[in-house]
Amino acid sequence: MDLDVTGVEQAVSTGSLPDGERVEQLVAAAHERNRLVADGVVADYIPALASADPDAFGVCVVGTDGAVHAAGDVDVEFSIQSISKAFVYALVCEVVGHRVARERVGVNNTGLAFNSVVAIELNDGHPMNPMVNAGAIATTGLVPGADDAERWEFVGSGLAAFAGRELRVDEEVYASEAATNQRNQAIARLLASYGRLDADPRRSVDLYTRQCSVLVTARDLAVMAATLADGGVNPVTGRRVVSAGVCRDTLAVLASTGLYERSGDWLFEIGLPGKSGVSGGLVTVAPGKAGIATWSPPLDDAGNSVRGQRATAYLSRALGLNVFASADYRLSGPADEPRRNT
Ligand code: GLU
């Protein structure tokens, strides 16, 4: 696809969140109305994740003005898992640029499971997009650094800059996944066999496993999401982490691929880019306005947090965040249950 946009001056058009008191009320309501929802199952394919508390639930919104609005368990740490893919992708895009990211990793949905081997075979060895494991491992293979320590420094310090604080690795989760991630190792070797991985497969999987084991809270994730919403500047620390162009590219990828095989449903109902992970986290970005994060371990059959999706659906509607909405519209049912528009 050749789009002639060189030299076109870039303009941005966006609105703002309602006032802080209103956001505070709506975050509390998003938590309260979903806290007793009992659907979903805690992931156990990585043994160390199985012990997560199914009742834990936190909701946090951080505006691009740096204001934090929180309800529930927003300061409990859990491993970031797949949500790391979004932020490591942004960090790598900053280094390799738009064209290389698109060519080496890709931006198209596979329509298949996040850890699919078939998807690689069906696409001539192409990893397809950075939110499936193949693409995340290909992204990790592009991390700059002369050795493992330098590459880890790039990833670890980059994630910390997004969160605005030092983050540590959960060594138990790392060891548990490292001992059971044969499928990811197979994916990396398959990519390498097609010449689609720029680094050693074993090292790339190890770096990927380590990035997935970084401990975050829902509050951290909301700050990280708000940084993507704020054109790459962390609104709490004031520090630039990535460029505005990288944020735009990352959010475009999240919009089409962030919620596993339900990415289309998500965009249709919520109308915002997001990324979920198997430990129950979910980040959503309202460009120019805010980052939203939820944490609740029970997942639906696609791997997305049940309470997280409901709380975010509520906030997207109640805060007016759907990027496709151009006029007021009424819903025929409660805001957190997908219903037909009237
Ligand atoms: N580390 C996990 C894996 O590779 C992440 C899965 C996820 O959160 O989707 O299986």
Q: What is the DSSP letter of 6?
A: T
Do 43 and 299 form a contact (C-beta atoms < 8 A)? Answer: yes
Note whether residue 6 is domain-resident.
Answer: no
Asked whether residue 146 falls in the same domain as residue 103, the answer is: yes
- In this prediction, residue 14 carries a pLDDT of 73
Q: 133 CB under 6 A from ligand 1?
A: yes
Q: Is the pLDDT of residue 325 over 80?
A: yes
What total number of domains does the chain contain?
2
Residues 227 and 313 reside in one and the same domain: yes
Q: Could you give the strand order of the β-sheet that contains 68-72, starting from the edge strand earlier in sequence? A: 68-72, 58-63, 290-295, 281-286, 274-276
- Cα separation, 298 vs 5, in Å, equals 44
Q: At what angle do helices 83-100 and 201-212 cross, to 10 degrees?
A: 130
Cβ(173) to ligand 1 under 6 A? no
| Residue 229 confidence class, pLDDT cut points 50, 70, 90 | very high
Task: Average the pLDDT over 262-274 and give the result.
Answer: 96
Which ligand 1 atom lies nearest to the CA of residue 212?
1
Of the candidates 212, 237, 265, which is a domain's last residue? Answer: 212
Residue 338 lies in a domain: no
Q: What percentage of the chain reaches a pLDDT higher than 70?
A: 94
- 212 Cβ below 6 A of ligand 1: yes
- Which atom of ligand 1 lies at the shortest distance from residue 279's CA? 8
Indicate if the pLDDT at residue 301 is higher than 90: yes
Query: How many Cα neighbours within 13 Å face the side chain of 284?
Result: 32
State which of 196, 212, 228 marks the end of a domain.
212
Q: Is the CB of 81 under 6 A from ligand 1?
A: yes
pLDDT over 80 (residue 327)? no
Residues 174 and 241 in one domain: no
Residue 135: half-sphere exposure toward Cβ, Cα within 13 Å: 34
- Domain of residue 179 covers 84-212
The verdict on the CB of residue 177 being under 6 Å from ligand 1 is yes
String of DSSP letters for 276-336: E-TTSEEEEEETTTEEEEEE---B-TTS-BHHHHHHHHHHHHHTT--TT--S---BSS-TT
Residue among 89, 177, 212 whose CB has most ligand 1 atoms within 8 A, to mutate: 212
Query: Do residues 324 and 229 both lie within one domain?
Result: yes
Question: What is the pLDDT of the chain when averaged over all its residues?
Answer: 93
Q: What CATH number does the domain containing 39 carry?
A: 3.40.710.10
What pLDDT, on a 0 to 100 scale, did the predictor assign at position 338?
52
Q: What is the mean pLDDT of residues 308-316?
A: 96
Whether residue 213 has its Cβ less than 6 Å from ligand 1? no
Residue 89 in domain: yes
**Is 342 within the bounds of a domain?**
no
Residue 281 domain flag: yes
C-alpha of residue 266 to centroid of ligand 1, in Å: 19
Q: Which residue among 160, 179, 212 closes a domain?
A: 212
Q: pTM of the entire structure?
A: 0.94
Q: Ligand 1 center to residue 260 CA distance, Å?
A: 11
**pLDDT at residue 326, as a whole number:** 81
Q: Tokens for 66? A: 């740096």
Q: Tens digits of per-residue pLDDT, 43-102?
A: 998 998 999 999 999 999 999 999 999 999 999 999 999 999 999 999 999 999 999 999
Residue 8 lies in a domain: no
Name the band, by pLDDT with cuts 50, 70 and 90, for residue 8: confident
Per the document, the length of the chain is 342
Co-location of 253 and 241 in the same domain? yes
Backbone Cα Rg of the chain: 19
Residue 342 has pLDDT above 50, yes or no: no
CB 294 near ligand 1, within 6 Å: no
Residues 202 and 234 in one domain: no
Quick one: 227 and 323 in the same domain? Answer: yes
Predicted confidence at residue 7, as pLDDT, reads 78
For residue 53 the two structure tokens come to 């508390």
| 228 and 259 share one domain | yes
Using DSSP bridges, classify how beta strands 281-286 and 58-63 pair: parallel, antiparallel or unpaired.
Answer: unpaired
> 44, 84, 89, 115: which to mutate for ligand 1, most atoms within 8 A of CB?
115
- Is residue 75 located within the same domain as residue 119? no
